[in-house]
Structure 1
Amino acid sequence: MRIIAGKYAKRNLFTLKSNKTRPTSDKVKESLFNSLGQFFDGGITLDLYGGSGALAIEAVSRGFDHAVITDINYAAVQIIKKNVALTHEEEKFEVFKMSDKVALKFLHEHDYKFDMVFLDPPYAKQKITQIMTEIDKLNLLNSKAIFVCETDDDTQLADVKGFTLTKEHHLGKTIVRIYQKDN
């Protein structure tokens, strides 16, 4: 797995040798970022289920100013920190070992606001729509913020009040859905 484009392009990333994470493949990552416009002009991103940190690192590589990456798994957090170090711009990243609920509470208490949120939880069907609602309720989003939600092709997601599904990509057994916050 590697960074596809931007200032960190072609750097190989470490991944966790475990079945506890499912790294987003380079093919899915490339298609996803191509559909988002490839490059960005600033902003803050959150990857709530970081795994290797690849999505958030790719977003910063392509122009986001800052990324917050959380994961509940200790080994995953260590991999994320190693990958962030590969950028030589560690100040652009914050990495936390926290569960999703604890992280959201912490981020709310510290007045974080995000422009893009990556959601790829281990149990997507049960969590994604609940987490989207919780993030919105905690006022953690800037206007026009987007959610990038990755699931397997068997997972259906219900509509989420306050968000519009703007794109849906089927990439093999993976589906990436992009939602934008309604204003």
Structure 2
Amino acid sequence: MRIVGGSHRGRPIIAPSDRTTRPTIDRVRESLFNMLLHSPSLMTDEGKSRLEGGVVLDPFAGSGALSFEALSRGAHHAYLFEIDPAARRVILQNARELDMAERITLRGADCTKPGPAPFTSPGPADLVLMDPPYRSGLGTQALTALDREGWLKPDALVMVETDAKGSFAIPPGFILLEERQQGPARLTFLLHQR
């Protein structure tokens, strides 16, 4: 795997060696970030990408690929949740190799039970990049819990990746902006409305 765009374009990243982690493939990541940077429907009311200086939340981090891609493309900070110790070691190794260790906060907590959000800098997330295990239902649980605990800004943008035939149960407090199929994945974009 590699970073596909931004200041760290082409830099390699590693993934956990187990078969339970399914990193977002490079082609899907590239399409996703092009949408985040150029699609008017996914911009802020001021016409700005949420990546520009934004805070990213990566609830099912795995290798951290989505967060590192966001940081490479202009995000200020990323919160990563990962319960697997081996995956956390991979994330920290990737962060060191990419000189991004100061720009991430890695939590070993279950994102469906995240605890209260920190209210100090960098604050709640502008953008959630969620790639839960396919067909698990965990994405809806996690988003509900993260909302309840204050992890999201009132107008945060949420991207949920599911398999192409899958769907995402949208919890209260979010509206559907759009859905796009990208190869083997479906990307669902939601707007937080609190």
If the length of structure 2 is used for normalisation, what is the TM-score? Answer: 0.85
Question: How far does residue 125 in structure 1 lie from its aligned partner after superposition?
Answer: 4.2
* CA displacement 1:30-84 (0-9 Å, x = unmatched): 0000111166321111111111000001111111100111211111111111111
1:91 to 88, 102, 105: 102
Summarize the Cα distance change of 1:20–1:166 in structure 2 as closer, same or farther, 3 Å threshold. Answer: same
- Mapped contact 1:11–1:86 kept (Cα < 8 A): no
Structure 1: state its 5+ residue gaps. Answer: none
Structure 2: state its 5+ residue gaps. Answer: 39-48
Aligned to 1:7: 7
In the alignment, the residues of structure 2 paired with residue 109 and residue 157 of structure 1 have an alpha-carbon distance, to the nearest angstrom, of 24
Taking the TM superposition and a 5 Å limit, the aligned residue runs for 1:24-173 are 24-37=24-37, 40-102=51-113, 104-105=114-115, 108=116, 110-111=118-119, 112-173=123-184
Question: How far does residue 123 in structure 1 lie from its aligned partner after superposition?
Answer: 4.8
- Mapped contact 2:162–2:168 kept (Cα < 8 A): no
In the alignment, the residues of structure 1 paired with residue 27 and residue 54 of structure 2 have an alpha-carbon distance, to the nearest angstrom, of 24
Summarize the Cα distance change of 1:90–1:153 in structure 2 as closer, same or farther, 3 Å threshold. Answer: same
Aligned length: 180
If the length of structure 1 is used for normalisation, what is the TM-score? Answer: 0.90
Aligned-residue sequence identity (percent) comes to 33
In the alignment, the residues of structure 1 paired with residue 62 and residue 158 of structure 2 have an alpha-carbon distance, to the nearest angstrom, of 17
In the alignment, the residues of structure 2 paired with residue 24 and residue 66 of structure 1 have an alpha-carbon distance, to the nearest angstrom, of 20
Question: How far does residue 172 in structure 1 lie from its aligned partner after superposition?
Answer: 2.1
In the alignment, the residues of structure 2 paired with residue 159 and residue 51 of structure 1 have an alpha-carbon distance, to the nearest angstrom, of 23
Give the aligned residue type for 1:137.
Answer: R
* CA displacement 1:99-146 (0-9 Å, x = unmatched): 2234x11xx153341111122122544122222222222222113201
In the alignment, the residues of structure 2 paired with residue 23 and residue 109 of structure 1 have an alpha-carbon distance, to the nearest angstrom, of 26
Summarize the Cα distance change of 1:109–1:69 in structure 2 as closer, same or farther, 3 Å threshold. Answer: closer
- Mapped contact 1:125–1:157 kept (Cα < 8 A): no
In the alignment, the residues of structure 1 paired with residue 95 and residue 103 of structure 2 have an alpha-carbon distance, to the nearest angstrom, of 9
- What SS is found at the alignment partner of 1:144? strand
- Mapped contact 2:111–2:146 kept (Cα < 8 A): no
Summarize the Cα distance change of 1:4–1:136 in structure 2 as closer, same or farther, 3 Å threshold. Answer: same
Q: Stretches of 4+ moved more than 4 A in 1?
A: none
RMSD of Structure 2 on Structure 1 (CA): 1.7
Aligned to 2:21: 21
Summarize the Cα distance change of 1:124–1:59 in structure 2 as closer, same or farther, 3 Å threshold. Answer: farther
In the alignment, the residues of structure 2 paired with residue 20 and residue 160 of structure 1 have an alpha-carbon distance, to the nearest angstrom, of 26
Question: How far does residue 171 in structure 1 lie from its aligned partner after superposition?
Answer: 1.6
- What SS is found at the alignment partner of 1:37? helix
